[in-house]
Structure 1
């Protein structure tokens, strides 16, 4: 089932995949949807492309990216940190069961993107946009009043 994701803000970005002997440019999109105010989507490859296949996307905490602009942030599958030697370099490390990847990306581009998200949903106001009561009702009703597992 394919769901169409409607972002509030999209920024194209080129990441450098850091390999053992070379770097590879990887085009991606930074995407922000105010209906999921805590997350930033990093979309790699064709998204809802003409061939019907979707690319890979990672959801990363907006707060994690913000913290990673200034200092190492994240544990486990997603880590972000600024380079010590270059002011416009940000490192992004992604780990999945199938492998891991280290990327270099523009710190200034990520900072500008986060400023746009902040204009859409200021930090601290995210929970006001969530429909927690509706989500909780759906969860507690086991998917609806006629759900067979009740």
Structure 2
């Protein structure tokens, strides 16, 4: 079941953590927000997608798109489609504390990405950014005049 935020899209999914002899189901949420048009987040935990109670990984939407068709990514995040099954996508995450290999539905990720492209078409991410608002927030000093001493 998918749900839409006012300026984003999120989809719960089940990923499979691949172990040496078995796999474990892991609930997760793929999320996309127009305010951060280049990124997709994958939230893990009881309230997946919530930065407060779970673990969230950010990755480039472009990387996720590329990984649907061919091996993509370097270092901490890598993706690739399975050669033997059309609906399997592998996601390898590496952190200082360890690494994990997940299997997830390629079709679910592809459908999710189509929804994000309806919100912000590929190549239009920069236009979706509110640069003036972000610049104002950076330059503001809590309402204080930065020149006053």
Between the two proteins, the alignment pairs up a number of residues equal to 142
Q: Which ranges of structure 1 fall in alignment gaps of 5 or more residues? A: none
After TM superposition, list the pairs within 5 Å mapping 1:38-77 onto structure 2.
38-47=38-47, 54-77=53-76
- Name the SS for the 2:73 alignment partner: coil
Q: Equivalent residue for 2:32?
A: 32
Q: Distance in 2 between matches of 1:54 and 1:28?
A: 12
Q: Equivalent residue for 2:93?
A: 94
Q: Contact 1:68–1:81 (CA<8 Å) still a contact in 2?
A: yes
Q: Contact 1:83–1:91 (CA<8 Å) still a contact in 2?
A: yes
Q: Contact 2:28–2:48 (CA<8 Å) still a contact in 1?
A: no
Q: TM-score, normalised by structure 1?
A: 0.83
Q: Equivalent residue for 2:119?
A: 120
Let me know the Cα RMSD of the aligned residues.
Answer: 2.5
Shift of 1:142: 7.7
Q: TM-score, normalised by structure 2?
A: 0.84
Q: Distance in 1 between matches of 2:99 and 2:122?
A: 30
Return structure 1 stretches of 4+ with deviation > 3 angstroms. Answer: 133-147
- Cα distance change of structure 1 residues 58 and 108 upon mapping to structure 2, 3 Å threshold: same
Q: Equivalent residue for 2:77?
A: 78
Q: Contact 1:44–1:56 (CA<8 Å) still a contact in 2?
A: yes
- Cα distance change of structure 1 residues 104 and 146 upon mapping to structure 2, 3 Å threshold: same
Q: Which ranges of structure 2 fall in alignment gaps of 5 or more residues? A: none
Q: Contact 1:7–1:31 (CA<8 Å) still a contact in 2?
A: no
